[in-house]
Amino acid sequence: MTLRMVGQMCSESADAGSKLKGCLATENTMAHDHAHHVGDYNRAFALGVTLNLGFVVVEFFFGLLSDSLALLADAGHNLSDVAGLLLAWGASYLAKAPATANRTYGWRKVPVMASLLSSLMLLVATGALGWEAFQRLFTPQSVTSLTVIVVAGVGVLVNTVTALLFVSGQHHDLNLRAAFLHMAADAGISLAVVLGGLLMLWQELPWVDPVLCLLVASFIIFSSWGLLKDSLDYALDAVPRNIDVQGIRQYLANLEQVDRLHDLHVWPLSTSEVALTVHLVVHQQSLDNALLHQIQQHLHDHFEIEHATIQLESSLEESNCLLAPTTCH
């Protein structure tokens, strides 16, 4: 977290400066704790990419061999997932790069851009496969059902194992959530292909293959829409869905030392970190670092705010609402 005070408090004395340094040390500790919370998923990405890339090759081969559009559709989707995993992996690596004079927040937004690009790629590929399946409804072809069943069964195993690699981190990181959702969806899709293959083996119904492909495409679009929306929101600095802005506002306004607040802003720094800035107009006797530490600790523990910049202003000053004269409350 970042502590910042304005006016006389910033230059009042050497003691005040030493207190401020102590608060800055609190920032480093909380950031360190968060790093452990999200964890390092390099091995998970490496294993996930290897498993899925190998399976894509197998699935494409047998999809062409058996002329199964359902297998080819699933293989194309798995290939887009491999690309998505590579994007997320590279983005998570870049996000750890240190800040520079020109990039004061470092490269933390790169995973957001990667998630957005991955979502768009997935929707475009799914649309193309859905169109092909729709055309095949009117010109159905026979499919080797046993091949479909065996290959898709392997896909259930591969995708389930890959999804489990990211299950622990998907609640705290948009990139990991994207990886988990894609792999979990693939496992479900492969299971549907297995069931469809059994149906074709039991009854000679060539239209089952394109229908399965359409169902697969619909499921992918449905499961990816939320990810696309969240990625776009993160890219536009919208408040993350897990952050209760009204709760934060109410907490700050109800503090005994706070007279009013203004310029409250909350936005995602990355796919796993949230920042906040706010101006608090407080009583003169409350201008101290203890209040800052209390507020920021509470924001971190109860609202998942990793980086908070709080500007304290004296209620005795006539100009304390110059930045937002109509929104002070």
Over residues 54-111, the pLDDT tens digits come to 999 988 888 888 777 767 877 877 787 787 788 878 888 888 888 888 988 888 888 8
* Residues in contact with 57: Cβ distance below 8 Å, sequence separation at least 6, in sequence order: none
- pLDDT of 38 higher than 90: no
- Phi-psi bin for 144: left (phi > 0), alpha (psi -120 to 50), beta? beta
* Residues 78 and 105 occupy one common structural domain: yes
How high does pLDDT run on average in the chain?
A: 77
Partners of residue 275 on adjacent β-strands: 267, 307
Angle at 52 between CA 48 and CA 56, to 5 degrees: 170
Radius of gyration of the chain (CA): 26
3-state secondary structure of 316: coil
What token pair was written down for 311?
Answer: 């500007």
The C-alpha atoms of residue 270 and residue 267 are separated, in whole angstroms, by 9
Our count of domains for the chain comes to 2
For residue 129, CA distances in Å to 38, 82, 159, 205 come to 35, 17, 20, 20
* Domain span holding position 265: 7-34+240-314
Comparing 12-16, 31-35, 185-189, the range with the smallest average pLDDT is: 12-16
* Residues 139 and 198 occupy one common structural domain: yes
Residue that is last in its domain, among 186, 216, 235: 235
CATH of the domain at 20: 3.30.70.1350
The C-alpha atoms of residue 115 and residue 90 are separated, in whole angstroms, by 11
Please report whether residue 2 resides in a domain.
Answer: no
Mean pLDDT to the nearest integer, 253-264:
92
Taking alpha carbons only, the member of 274, 272, 240 closest to residue 38 is: 272
Q: What single-letter amino acid sits at 107? A: W
Question: Are 316 and 21 in contact, with CB atoms under 8 Å apart?
Answer: no
Q: What single-letter amino acid sits at 187? A: A
* Residues 88 and 206 occupy one common structural domain: yes
| pLDDT tens readout for residues 194-208 | 877 787 777 777 787
Please report whether residue 288 resides in a domain.
Answer: yes
What pLDDT is attached to residue 157? 93
Highest mean pLDDT among 17-21, 56-60, 128-132, 194-198: 56-60
